[in-house]
């Protein structure tokens, strides 16, 4: 979550769900919270019952809108323009929380002279290289407080380092996500002008940047009438001050855009200006897509991260541990201890084999040399670059956009292991998929050997979930898994055990990393299940005395401590599984600190030092949360202070202070190099220091703000299996947005086979407005066919006035089609796969796909079957001026064109 990471220092929701009840106004945008997070939504209803205003901003009128005070329909893909409009409103009317902004944000920081804004370059920031389609962020930096000095004392070496950092392969390896738990490193603290008057202060840069985001522009871009915009602006600003707070809630309705990280940045700027971060009832609530998604980035399943958001070492950048830690050496903030976290991780993994002499086995770690993200890997599969693949709890041929391309990828492997609860489509694609029907996949010639292994469900194994608000909750195994079903922990532990046994006599040095691993987890039961608690304790880390650590502050860089994920340190404090705590709500305070355990250090609300003023006093009695107790000499309050408890509010770092010692007593954003919330991000994002409205890759309208239509840094994966609909195409005149329903789970593997859920939403449908139904002759309850440059799919039509044509300021009407994506051919509840319609275009910060907005055509009736379908879609491509999408058998050897190279830019 680089949007939040670069803004505040950690890539996690700043507040917690229960705290929404304390809000005076809740804006839900980019989220259908009632449908997708119904349990957490109770706190929104609680806030409403206490008198809070609930605003839902969404292209569709959903079950969330139904209980909101106001639903604001907007055109999908236009949120930055709307939020930018609110930022302008706040700045123009002097409605920002001045004391907060001056003290706690980087508003007063001066930006370097080299920086040029999009306003002056018609949609581009300074530093753009049109050839590589990448930005060099050097010109975005602060004007330094003291003369700049590079990470290295040798200027030549420094220049070398700089060159390496700017190499496209290094950039593609995506360092942005490393801001998950620590702001991006900056070379030095900035010069400041606390009057905010200097033209190069962040504050003034911000004012100029958003100057054209007027209510009229909002109306033109988003289709939101100025009166409604005004209403939202009034509610938000009237409920953001010393006494009142507004919360912003988003989920994948924001992240799944080609500029998703910048959507979140825009909200971050707004909430920081309004003084809503680190305060009760405020914050930005990032709702995660399912049960342990937060956990899957904390202890990551991402190619470019190690546990605790430590970046994966890069082949060109990081030849040894010193180089790896160089960017953090001498830096302010908790990232300054990067070496301690890394050495503890290496010690946890390689134990006694990791010594100071061998760089703690740093060379055992694999290196990355570019983009190896999910979609890039699929393209690599098609080209035969990937031999084997594990799919665990994922159904990409349904859940990923462009299912056809994903199936071609899987069809070109040597082997594929699918571990799932059900025989999902990703395991049966070779025999049953739509491409078998069209003849594009030929089961006889597909070389992929598919191993399907039944997995234990969450009630059949022990372990933790880390949910949306960073709380780890332990769950016990309720029943034994049936038959051969086993937990993932069991699978990987025994796979490792068997591999190590096979290699035990090997003298090949490349086998040392595997053989030296600490792989001694105790097992129990008939099936020899490894103890999940032992794993959790290893993640927590152990000190020199052999006892579990209680805080990452205890971690050392000399190899005397271990820790598998530094941000989780403390979850096993006092040798107790803190995640298993279950103290009832009625028996503890309002923050419920003794229910489970939250990272970091059981702090439920991040940056909560900001709930007090610079002197340490609560901003108001109504919103008091954490404050300085002079008599006791500590920070106290309802929650664990997200601050060193005994650091006085008037602490000023002495010259030369490092890490946390360089953070002042009135700097609440302790993970940032300058201790401030970033209105302007001098580093950390690859597509600009400020958010800028760009149109989606597939859009039916022209960018009203800049000549630059779409983000210049968009990642594309080109090939006949991933053709893009041209912008403003007459052939594909309608916007499509995808989403989930309460009744089903994502790609359906956990719901389409269950009778009680399947019957509640029994088949695939699309939602259209009465106007679009009339326009295209669609009949309620009948079939319609949707067509894109990828393929054509059919769905039942639900005509509803909840879907509305969006009328832009200049009178253009944009029709939007709603398309839930749960279905495919397996299970009780079936239908075509919505995601087959979508192409893959990615946010360069996150490699997340833009599937919340795309274009298509819709017409009544069912789609053609068999090879006829290919001709039908090819005809559409031809008419739209799109290159052929025909492929050879099993997706290989394209009939024409494409090399399948990643291209960036528009």
Which is nearer to other proteins, 367 or 796 (by Cβ)?
796
Q: How far is CA 186 from CA 250, 259, 307, 672, 687, in A?
A: 28, 23, 22, 9, 17
List all residues 6 or more positions away from 199 whose beta carbon is below 8 Å from its beta carbon.
none
Least Å distance, CB 276 to other proteins, is 22
Query: Cβ distance 300 to 147 under 8 Å?
Result: no
List all residues 6 or more positions away from 101 whose beta carbon is below 8 Å from its beta carbon.
107, 203, 272, 273, 275
Outline where DSSP puts E strands in 397-448: 415-420
Which is nearer to other proteins, 527 or 742 (by Cβ)?
742
**Which two structure tokens, joined as six digits, stand for 196?**
């905010």
**Which two structure tokens, joined as six digits, stand for 475?**
């769950």
Least Å distance, CB 808 to other proteins, is 10
List all residues 6 or more positions away from 598 whose beta carbon is below 8 Å from its beta carbon.
16, 469, 470, 471, 472, 604
Which is nearer to other proteins, 439 or 888 (by Cβ)?
439
Closest by CA to 66, choosing from 96, 91, 34, is 34
Which is nearer to other proteins, 18 or 667 (by Cβ)?
18
Least Å distance, CB 456 to other proteins, is 20
List all residues 6 or more positions away from 564 whose beta carbon is below 8 Å from its beta carbon.
299, 307, 345, 348, 349, 538, 539, 540, 541
Which is nearer to other proteins, 129 or 759 (by Cβ)?
759
Least Å distance, CB 853 to other proteins, is 18
Q: How far is CA 438 from CA 433, 434, 827, 870, in A?
A: 9, 6, 22, 7
Question: Phi and psi of 138, rounded to 5°?
Answer: -55, -40
Q: How far is CA 774 from CA 31, 808, 860, in A?
A: 29, 20, 11
Which is nearer to other proteins, 285 or 601 (by Cβ)?
285
Which is nearer to other proteins, 661 or 743 (by Cβ)?
743
Name beta bridge partners: 124. Answer: none
Least Å distance, CB 59 to other proteins, is 11
Find the helix or strand (DSSP H, E) in which 135 lies.
Answer: strand 134-135
Least Å distance, CB 759 to other proteins, is 5
Find the helix or strand (DSSP H, E) in which 33 lies.
Answer: helix 33-36
Name beta bridge partners: 415. Answer: 388, 449
Least Å distance, CB 22 to other proteins, is 18
Q: What share of the chain is helix, strand, coil (3-state, %, to 5)?
A: 30, 15, 50
Least Å distance, CB 327 to other proteins, is 44
Least Å distance, CB 828 to other proteins, is 5
Least Å distance, CB 223 to other proteins, is 7
Strand 53-57 versus strand 70-72 pairing type: parallel
Least Å distance, CB 607 to other proteins, is 28
Query: Cβ distance 417 to 391 under 8 Å?
Result: yes
Question: Phi and psi of 414, rounded to 5°?
Answer: -85, -45
Query: Cβ distance 832 to 764 under 8 Å?
Result: yes
Which is nearer to other proteins, 70 or 196 (by Cβ)?
70
Least Å distance, CB 543 to other proteins, is 42
Helices (H), 326-424: 338-350, 374-382, 396-399, 403-410
**Which two structure tokens, joined as six digits, stand for 618?**
């609560």
DSSP conformation class of 225: -
Least Å distance, CB 56 to other proteins, is 9
Least Å distance, CB 61 to other proteins, is 6
Least Å distance, CB 472 to other proteins, is 22
**Which two structure tokens, joined as six digits, stand for 365?**
């770690």
Query: Cβ distance 453 to 421 under 8 Å?
Result: no
Q: How far is CA 700 from CA 83, 485, 661, in A?
A: 21, 48, 52
C-alpha 400/C-alpha 797 separation (Å) is 23
Which is nearer to other proteins, 306 or 814 (by Cβ)?
814
Which is nearer to other proteins, 385 or 865 (by Cβ)?
865
Which is nearer to other proteins, 9 or 809 (by Cβ)?
809
Query: Cβ distance 785 to 858 under 8 Å?
Result: yes
Which is nearer to other proteins, 200 or 728 (by Cβ)?
728
Which is nearer to other proteins, 99 or 763 (by Cβ)?
763
Query: Cβ distance 203 to 195 under 8 Å?
Result: no
User: Is residue 514 helix, strand or coil?
Assistant: helix
Closest by CA to 239, choosing from 276, 269, 266, is 276
C-alpha 311/C-alpha 689 separation (Å) is 21
Which is nearer to other proteins, 489 or 793 (by Cβ)?
793
State the angle between helix axes of 226-238 and 79-92 in degrees (0 to 180), rounded to the nearest 10: 60
Which is nearer to other proteins, 98 or 879 (by Cβ)?
879
Least Å distance, CB 773 to other proteins, is 5
Strand 246-250 versus strand 134-135 pairing type: unpaired
Which is nearer to other proteins, 30 or 616 (by Cβ)?
30
Which is nearer to other proteins, 216 or 763 (by Cβ)?
763
Question: Phi and psi of 79, rounded to 5°?
Answer: -65, -35
Name beta bridge partners: 903. Answer: 716
Outline where DSSP puts E strands in 373-485: 388-392, 415-420, 449-454, 463-466, 471-475
Least Å distance, CB 289 to other proteins, is 17
Least Å distance, CB 70 to other proteins, is 4
Which is nearer to other proteins, 575 or 875 (by Cβ)?
875
């Amino acid at each position: 979550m680089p949007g939040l990471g670069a803004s505040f220092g950690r890539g996690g929701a700043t507040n917690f769900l229960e705290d929404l009840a304390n809000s005076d106004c809740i804006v839900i945008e980019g989220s259908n919270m009632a449908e997708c997070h119904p349990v957490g939504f109770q706190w929104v209803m609680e806030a409403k019952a206490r008198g809070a205003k609930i605003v839902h901003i969404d292209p569709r009128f959903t079950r969330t809108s139904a209980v909101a005070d106001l639903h604001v329909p907007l055109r999908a893909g236009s949120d930055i323009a709307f939020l930018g409009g609110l930022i302008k409103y706040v700045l123009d009317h002097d409605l920002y929380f001045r004391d907060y902004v001056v003290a706690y944000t980087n508003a007063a920081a001066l930006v370097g002279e080299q920086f040029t804004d999009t306003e002056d370059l018609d949609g581009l920031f300074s530093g753009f290289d049109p050839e590589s389609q990448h930005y060099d962020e050097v010109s975005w930096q602060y004007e330094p407080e003291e003369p700049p000095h590079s990470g290295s004392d040798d200027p030549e070496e420094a220049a070398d380092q700089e060159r390496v950092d700017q190499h496209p392969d290094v950039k593609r390896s995506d360092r942005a996500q490393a801001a998950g738990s620590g702001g991006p490193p900056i070379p030095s603290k900035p010069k400041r002008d606390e009057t905010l008057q200097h033209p190069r202060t962040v504050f003034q840069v911000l004012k100029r940047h958003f100057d054209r985001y007027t209510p009229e522009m909002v109306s033109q871009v988003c289709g939101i009438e100025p009166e409604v915009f005004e209403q939202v602006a009034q509610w938000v600003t009237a409920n953001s001050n010393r006494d009142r707070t507004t919360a912003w809630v988003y989920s994948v309705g924001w992240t799944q855009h080609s500029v998703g990280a910048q959507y979140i940045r825009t909200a971050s700027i707004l909430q920081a200006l309004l003084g809503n971060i680190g305060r009760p009832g405020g914050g930005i609530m990032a709702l995660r897509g399912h049960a342990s998604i937060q956990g899957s980035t904390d202890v990551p399943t991402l190619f470019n991260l190690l546990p605790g958001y430590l970046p994966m070492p890069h082949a060109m950048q990081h030849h040894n541990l010193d180089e790896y830690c160089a960017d953090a050496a001498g830096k302010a903030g908790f990232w300054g201890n990067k070496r301690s976290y890394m050495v503890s991780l290496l010690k946890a993994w390689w134990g006694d084999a990791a010594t100071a002499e061998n760089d703690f086995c740093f060379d055992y770690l694999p290196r990355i040399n570019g983009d190896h993200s999910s979609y890039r890997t699929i393209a690599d599969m098609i080209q035969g670059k990937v031999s084997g693949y594990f799919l665990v709890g994922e159904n990409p041929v349904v859940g990923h956009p462009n299912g056809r391309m994903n199936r071609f990828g899987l069809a070109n492997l040597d082997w594929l292991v699918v571990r799932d609860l059900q025989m999902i489509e990703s395991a049966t694609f070779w025999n049953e998929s739509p491409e078998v029907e069209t003849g594009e996949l030929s089961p006889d010639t597909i070389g992929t050997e598919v191993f399907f292994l039944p997995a234990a469900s969450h009630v059949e194994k022990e372990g933790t979930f880390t949910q949306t608000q960073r709380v780890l909750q332990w769950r016990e195994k309720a029943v034994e898994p049936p038959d051969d079903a086993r937990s993932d922990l069991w699978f990987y532990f025994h796979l490792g055990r068997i591999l190590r046994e096979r290699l035990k006599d090997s003298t090949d040095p490349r086998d040392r990393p595997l053989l030296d691993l600490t792989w001694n987890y105790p097992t129990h039961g008939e099936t020899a299940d490894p103890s999940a608690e032992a794993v959790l304790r290893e993640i927590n880390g152990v000190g020199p005395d052999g006892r579990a650590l209680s805080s990452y502050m205890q971690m050392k860089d000399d190899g005397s401590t271990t820790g598998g994920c530094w941000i989780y340190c403390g979850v096993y404090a006092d040798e107790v599984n803190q995640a298993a705590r279950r103290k009832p709500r009625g028996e503890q305070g309002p923050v419920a600190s003794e229910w489970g355990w939250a990272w970091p250090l059981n702090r439920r609300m991040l940056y909560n030092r900001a709930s007090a003023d610079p002197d340490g006093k609560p901003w108001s009695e109504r919103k008091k949360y954490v404050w300085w107790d002079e008599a006791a000499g500590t920070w106290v309050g309802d929650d664990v202070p997200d601050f060193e408890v005994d650091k006085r509010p008037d602490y000023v770092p002495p010259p030369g202070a490092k890490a946390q010692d360089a953070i002042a007593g009135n700097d609440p954003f302790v993970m940032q190099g300058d201790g401030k919330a970033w209105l302007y991000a001098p580093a950390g994002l690859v597509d600009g220091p400020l958010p800028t409205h760009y149109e989606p890759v597939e859009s039916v309208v022209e960018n009203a703000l800049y000549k630059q239509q779409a983000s210049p840094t968009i990642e594309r994966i080109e090939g006949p299996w991933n053709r893009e609909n041209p912008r403003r195409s007459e052939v594909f005149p309608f916007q499509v947005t995808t989403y989930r329903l309460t009744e089903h789970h994502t790609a359906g593997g956990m719901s389409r086979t269950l009778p009680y859920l399947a019957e509640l939403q029994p088949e695939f449908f699309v939602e259209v407005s009465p106007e679009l139904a009339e326009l295209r002759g669609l009949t309620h309850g009948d079939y319609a066919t949707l067509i894109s440059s990828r393929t054509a799919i059919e769905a039942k039509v639900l005509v509803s006035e909840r879907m509305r044509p969006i009328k832009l300021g200049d009178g253009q009407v944009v029709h939007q089609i709603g398309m839930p994506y749960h279905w495919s051919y397996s299970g009780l509840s079936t239908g075509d796969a919505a995601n087959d319609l979508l192409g893959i275009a990615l946010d360069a910060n996150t490699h997340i796909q833009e599937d919340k907005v795309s274009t298509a055509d819709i017409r009544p009736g069912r789609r053609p079957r068999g090879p006829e379908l290919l001709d039908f879609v090819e005809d559409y491509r031809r008419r739209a001026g799109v290159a052929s999408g025909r492929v050879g058998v099993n997706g290989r050897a394209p009939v024409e064109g494409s090399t399948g190279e990643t291209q960036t830019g528009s």
